Copies of this chain bind each other. A is one copy, B any other.
Amino acid sequence: MLELRLVQGSLLKKVLESIKDLVNYANFDCSATGFSLQVMDSSHVALVALLLRSEGFDHYRCDRNISMGVNLNIMAKMLKCAGNDDDDIMTLKADDGSDTVTFMFERDQHMIADFEMKLMDIDSQHVGIPEVDYHAVVRMPSSKFARICKDFSSIGDTGIVISVTNEGVRFSTRGDFGTLNLQPEEATIIEMNEPVSLKFALRYMNSFTKATPLSSTVTLSLFSGLPVVVEYKIAEMGYIRFYLAPKIEEVDDEAKP
């Protein structure tokens, strides 16, 4: 039997909103440790990893490990209808062996919504993520990062170069029209072991920024030649992390730090 209770009931809604455009189907894994998900996006370019630790829930009972396969798009729509207010309390229940999961929403001790969602069998495999001592780690307001990704997309190039040097953090995009560099004041270098400059697909970065409502800050962890980690911390519960491999062939000399 699985029974989870979350006073901040809109949290799961925000999580779903942040991944539903990237991934269609996924398994949520519940264990004594917590509620988690790890899944590649449908084109196998990006990886999403979610962790909501059991201690962060107001009630958490998970008698045995269970993997719940869901259509993320439908789950997002249901949660949007049912759990809209920040102060709604959500309870999730699944009986052992059942092929459905039930969500209930209360407000001021009054049941206001519930839905029963069918579960699916979904193939999945976990990817081992090695621990890395990143070349550079940058923290900045999540809204500012979202804004840069959106603005760069409007210009027309498909890539964003993120560079960290002793002089700071710089975001660049270039094309036939010229080159644009942004050096946001609000970005802080948390750690820099080596200067680093990597280019990423803007389309994915833009998708990751859908997690902006989950956290006021975002952390970008960079290592030459390895995937960037775009992390949004979820207060007192865990995190959602997006991994994206760099476009290594396209970083040219001029864009390097």
Contact = CB atoms under 8 A, between A and B. Distances in A.
Given A115-B180, A118-B178, A180-B81, A185 B154 contact: no
B80 A154 contact: yes
Contacts of A110: 183, 185
A185 B82 contact: no
Contacts of A71: 177
A112 B168 CA distance: 11
A37 B32 CA distance: 64
Given A113-B180, A179-B115, A155 B78 contact: yes
Interface in A56-83: 71, 74, 77-78, 80-82
A237 interface: no
B77 A155 contact: yes
A184 interface: yes
Nearest to A175: B74
A95 interface: no
Nearest to A154: B77
Nearest to A115: B180
Contacts of A184: 112
Interface in A161-183: 176-183
A151 B81 contact: yes
B81 A179 contact: no
Interface string A102-113: 000001101111
Contact of A156 (B77, B116, B183): B77
Contact of A155 (B81, B100, B116, B178): B81
Contacts of A111: 183
A82 B112 CA distance: 42
A3 interface: no
Nearest to A78: B180
